Structure 1
Amino acid sequence: MSHSEVHPGLNIKRSLLDAVLAGLIALIVFGPIVGIVLNGYSFNFEPHRLVWIIAVVMAGRLLLSLFLQTAPGRKLLTRFDGGNDGVYVRPIGARTSLRWIIPLMAVIAMLFPFVATKYLLTVAILGLIYVLLGLGLNIVVGLAGLLDLGYVAFYAIGAYGLALGYQYLGLGFWAMLPLGALMAALAGALLGFPVLRMHGDYLAIVTLGFGEIIRLVLNNWMSLTGGPNGVSVPAPTIFGLEFGRRAKDGGVPIHEFLGITYNPNLKFIFIYAVLFLVVLLVLYIKHRLTRMPIGRAWEALREDEIACRSLGLNHVLVKLSAFMMGASTAGLAGVFFATYQGFVNPTSFTFFESALILAIVVLGGMGSTIGVVLAAFVLTVAPELLRSFAEYRVLLFGVLMVAMMIWRPRGLVRISRTSFAPRKGVAP
């Protein structure tokens, strides 16, 4: 019995070619990063790790290619292909596991700050900040289809708004929380007007330039922003009560007011609690907006702007509303970030942040709320758990995005809609 009769659908030659091609790509990508090492003032070529990486890539690609040619592999491919087409429509009356998963996660999130260490609290706060950023950019990119590569600018406006508002006007956390969102929304409107007629690559270039302009202004306007030195941010208070061991200016610490033992985590518990409530509010508002005419208009704009305009929709207002809603959410996140850090400077608002937020939207699923929440925690918590691989962070990040584009092009969670049908006794 010949080999082809045992595996009639197996093409070993093609699999070997795929493996060789994958090895060449690995050589190009990993060669400058792993193979060339800086030693003092000279570069040394160290092929050992590079050879191992290329061998692993080639072996993995060969095994994967052979597996995908078998019946289970083809079945798996069919499952992925069929599971990523368009919007998933749930049958009428269908119940999803989210009905009990979401309340369970909410209960866990509420109990978390009382059992977590300071380190875990700070990681959770950072994760929630990126949830806010992902939700905001998801409106612009995921729902309205407007590629924004300068989204970090609105994040910076919210953060610097709190720092400078306190320094020059004496405004604290509670006053700047709504004002930061409003300032970022106005900046979103200013950005929206010049790009009304732009699409695709041109829109991405203009928004990228806007983000860099904001960063350069913050970095060079020394008299206002402090330049690279940054600006300190006041600690938050609640009804005038401070979270430090000793209050300043004759105030009262909150632990003395409540008659409890001082806990250095009180400040972070407070930030976490307020941030968690704001995230829930933003989730609810986004959920309602996507089911209102404005949300349907965003989706119509994303699918076909010409058809959107032919239906009588005002594309100017639709675009501006998307930019403003997304920017206001970033402004909120910026205020929380500044409060959490206690200090802001321009290095926190580079293009890499915009790329990371965009990756959260793409990884979670364009337009998917649950997917964005999951992706935000994956991309912010995972680096904290993998600190020993910090030098390969960007590389792993790129590999993850490539894998997602191949296997789950619609993201972790697709957009879902409930189907509808006429009621009984009503003619369709």
Structure 2
Amino acid sequence: MSKILIRGAKVLGGEQQDVLIDGSVIEAVGTGLSAEGAEVVEAGGKVLLPGLVDLHTHLREPGREDSETVLTGTRAAASGGYTAVFAMANTFPVADTAGVVEQVYRLGQESGYCDVQPIGAVTVGLEGKKLAELGAMHESAAGVTVFSDDGKCVDDAVIMRRALEYVKAFGGVVAQHAQEPRLTEGAQMNEGIVSAELGLGGWPAVAEESVIARDVLLAEHVGSRVHICHLSTAGSVEIVRWAKSRGIDVTAEVTPHHLLLTDEMVRTYNPVYKVNPPLRTERDVMALREALADGTIDIVATDHAPHPHEDKDCEWAAAAMGMVGLETALSVVQQTMVETGLLDWAGVADRMSVKPAQIGRANGHGRPVSAGEPANLVLVDADYRGAVDPAGFASRSRNTPYEGRELPGRVTHTWLRGKATLVDGKLA
């Protein structure tokens, strides 16, 4: 059926309207719309947003299909309301050549659940020694515009400068995992009172902040774009705010878990709370929320990091770092930002769809919910409340910090260019 009529949806959380989809585009938005033969979806006041875009997803394929594949990861994305995700380069082999990024791109096209844009590695093998084939990856079928060694920091200032200079030629962006390696050797959690009491190696805030400070200055010097991955400290917020005040072309992201959880959770020694960068203090959490609200932090990105059961069900020191996040991100943002009054639903659309699409140049995504635009949409039951049950996840992995926690909101429908990928909370 080529036509879909979404009746009575609160577009961007505003007044109830009808949205008529014809094929892959939105034909009309208004009240009292009708279309003969159209499939009708009774929204009943649910919130309608542009499809979400995640600039920071780990799909693990190729090489770690035991934790996630492009297919299972995109199914998880559709379940969470995403219509486009950017797949990080730390696969096996590393996505540092045109051949590997094209493989990931094709797998995304075959999945059909959301668009997959590969992120290319900055350096060969993520080793930080030699620039990868940035130009070849950009010119490939995948059209890579975002480059990152995420999981590792590009800690060599000369390499970072060269990368910024290279991507400037085609309007690309380097996304930095800000972690000074010498300051975080043996780090297990945030450095502070809790780490001292637990006897766990500390990951100091300055290890993040010093790299961000260096990189915004390099971006200013080169005149290029730099993006800060998973910003996590109050000090980092102040550095980015200062850089923006100088007109430096810097953008930054925050993860849902850094908006909600603190290092106090580590007292349980449950490795589900082990993540990089680590959970920080309540003061940091509050600073991150305020910065996302005022635009200092541009976007929310999940850093969806799936791991098989055996990599998390072990002692803390041996456990892998990371959390799954695609299927809970919108609920966490609703709780921390909407229900606290820091953002309205239009603000959520801006931080989780419009701006990530702009930063990553995701054509057709993050567009207004208006006539003539691609029908990439998500319908959210904002009144829903329920406990998180990872057994129902579409992701291949279950390493969520929210198991059993009650969160608000539930994605009921997702459309990718007019094709339903999620219907009544179930994958199409």
- TM-score, normalising length: structure 2: 0.26
Greater strand share, structure number: 2
Structure with larger RCO (C-alpha < 8 A, sep 6+) = 1
Larger radius of gyration: 1
